[in-house]
Amino acid sequence: MSRRNYLFTSESVSEGHPDKVCDRISDTVVDAFLAQAPEARVACETLATTNKVVIAGEVRGPSTITPDLISHLARLAIRDIGYEQDGFHWETAEIDVLLHAQSADIAQGVDAAGDKDEGAGDQGIMFGYACRETPELMPAPIYYAHAILRRLAEVRKNGTEPKLGPDAKSQVTLRYVDGKPVAATSIVLSTQHVDPDLTSADVRAIVEPYIRATLPAGWIGSETSWHVNPTGKFVIGGPDGDAGLTGRKIIVDTYGGAAPHGGGAFSGKDPTKVDRSAAYAARWLAKNVVAAGLADRCTIQLSYAIGVSDPLSIYVDLHDTGHVDPAKVEALLSDRDVVRLSPRGIRERLGLNRPIYARTSAYGHFGRPAEDDGGFSWEKLDLAETLKSALL
C-alpha cells in the first residue's frame, strides 16, 4: 500500500546550466544531421568549461555537415541561451569538433539487412510514467520546478528582467495529502545575476512574483520556506563557473525522481538509440494508459538487446490504482497489431526521424504539448481510445 501523506521534492535546471548547455549543443548536432538525412546516426557528447567547448562522438551522415558548420551551430546555440560573459561567450569560445565515423561493428548489429529488421542500438532498460497530478499527466514537483525556470527564462530573454543571468536551478517540495499535492512547503531558487551588487533579498524581490504566479493558487502560504540564492552572490555562472557534460541531468529530464530511470541519457542521440526513442515510447504508452482511464498512475518498463528489434520484456505497474489487470495491459502492448515497439516501429509511429530535439534539451522531455511539426509527439493521446475499447 503506497503512502498517502508525505513530502516530495524535485529539482530542475535552466537552459544556461553548464550540463544543459552541453545537452543543447549535442541535440543541435543531432538536428543538423536529421535535417539533411533522416536516417543519419549520431552519438554526440559535449564538454564545456571556461570559454571552451569540445564536441566528440560518432556519426554517420552527409559530408555537408562539416566541423565548421557544427562549430557555427554550437555558437548560435550558446548565443540563444544568452552567454556573452567574459568567461563564456558565444563569439570567443574555442570550439573543438572531434566527431568521427560510427563503428562498423555497431552498424552491422543495428542496420536492417535482408530479412533482418533494424535492431536496437544498445542493450538497456527504459521507463515511462504518467499520473493525474497535473493536466499534462506529470508529477507535480518536477512539472512546477520546470515551469518556474521556463518563466524566468522568458522574462530574462524578452528584456523584462535584464538583471537575471542564464544559469539557474529550482527545487520544489510539495505536501501530499491523501495522495494529492496540496501545498508547497519549500521553494529553492538559485539564479545567476549580471549586477554584482544584488543581494539575495534583491533577487528574491525579482523572482518571487513569477514563482507565485506559476504555482497553483493557494499552494504558497505563510508556512512556505523560501531559499533564494542562499549562498549569496551568483555572478559567475554557466561553464565558466562549473564544467558541463552531456547527459548529467537525466532525472531532471524525466520525472524528477517520482519514477524509475533506466540510466541512459537522451541528448546527443539519434532516435535509433533506444535510450531515447524507447523512453519516449514508454512515456507515450504510460500517458495513454492513464488518459484512457485504465489507472491513475502507470509505470512502464521496456528492455532491449543490441541488434535485436523487438523488446525483450514489457512490464506495467498501475500502482494499485488500476481498473484492469496489469497483465492484460502488458499483453495488449505486446500485440504488434496494436503497437510495434521495435526501434523502427517507434520511430515511424512517433515520427522521430526529424530535427526536433534541440528544444527538448531543457525544461524536461515530458509534459510538454505536442507540436505541429512533430515535436513532443510522444505526448499525444492517440492510443487512448484503442486501449479503452480493448480493456474497459
Paired sense of beta strands 88-89 and 84-85, if any: antiparallel
Strands (E), the chain: 6-13, 41-49, 52-60, 84-85, 88-89, 94-101, 124-131, 164-177, 180-193, 225-228, 244-245, 297-304, 313-317
Question: Domains plus CATH for the chain?
Answer: 6-13+139-237 (3.30.300.10), 124-132+271-391 (3.30.300.10)
Residue tagged 529488421 (cell numbers)? 117
Query: How far, in Å, CA of 14 to CA of 152, rounded?
Result: 9
**Does the annotation list 93 as a binding residue?**
no
Per-residue confidence (pLDDT) for residue 122, from 0 to 100: 82
- 137: which residues sit within 8 A by CB, 6+ positions away? 130, 131, 287, 290, 291, 367
**Does the annotation list 249 as a binding residue?**
yes
**Does the annotation list 113 as a binding residue?**
no
**Does the annotation list 163 as a binding residue?**
no
Per-residue confidence (pLDDT) for residue 3, from 0 to 100: 85
Query: How far, in Å, CA of 123 to CA of 115, rounded?
Result: 21
**Does the annotation list 140 as a binding residue?**
no
CA pseudo-torsion sign 151, 372, 356, 306: positive
Cα dist from 103 to 57, 100, 309, 357, 375, whole Å: 11, 9, 19, 23, 29
Contact 125, 262 (CB under 8 A): yes
**Does the annotation list 19 as a binding residue?**
yes
Supply the residues annotated as catalytic.
Answer: 17, 19-20, 45, 58, 169, 234, 242-243, 248-249, 269, 273, 275
Query: How far, in Å, CA of 332 to CA of 288, rounded?
Result: 13
Per-residue confidence (pLDDT) for residue 105, from 0 to 100: 60
Per-residue confidence (pLDDT) for residue 2, from 0 to 100: 73
Identify the helix (H) or strand (E) that includes residue 234: none
Q: What is the pLDDT along the chain (392 residues), one digit of tens a residue?
A: 578 999 999 999 999 999 999 999 999 999 999 999 999 999 999 999 999 999 999 999 999 999 999 999 999 999 999 999 999 999 999 999 999 997 666 655 566 655 456 778 789 999 999 999 999 999 999 999 999 999 999 999 999 999 999 999 999 999 999 999 999 999 999 999 999 999 999 999 999 999 999 999 999 999 999 999 999 999 999 999 999 999 999 999 999 999 999 999 999 999 999 999 999 999 999 999 999 999 999 999 999 998 889 999 999 999 999 999 999 999 999 999 999 999 999 999 999 999 999 999 999 999 999 999 999 999 999 999 999 999 98
**Does the annotation list 33 as a binding residue?**
no
How many Cα atoms are found within 13 Å in the side-chain-facing hemisphere of 207?
32
Query: How far, in Å, CA of 349 to CA of 341, rounded?
Result: 9
Per-residue confidence (pLDDT) for residue 108, from 0 to 100: 55
What cell does 298 get?
A: 502507470
What cell does 218 get?
A: 493557494
**Does the annotation list 169 as a binding residue?**
yes
Burial status of residue 92 (CB atoms within 10 A of its CB: 0-12, 13-18, 19 or more): exposed
User: Side chain identity at 24, as an amino acid letter?
Assistant: R
**Does the annotation list 380 as a binding residue?**
no
Q: What angle do CA 187, 80, 68 make, to 5 degrees?
A: 135
Query: How far, in Å, CA of 38 to CA of 71, rounded?
Result: 21
Q: Name the residue among 139, 135, 131, 149 with its Cα closest to residue 214.
A: 149
Neighbours of 345 (CB within 10 A): 18
**Does the annotation list 328 as a binding residue?**
no
User: Side chain identity at 268, as an amino acid letter?
Assistant: G
Distance of CA 47 to the CA centre of its chain: 18
Paired sense of beta strands 94-101 and 52-60, if any: parallel
CA pseudo-torsion sign 359, 361, 366, 368: negative
Q: Name the residue among 270, 278, 360, 299 with its Cα closest to residue 2.
A: 299
Per-residue confidence (pLDDT) for residue 274, from 0 to 100: 95
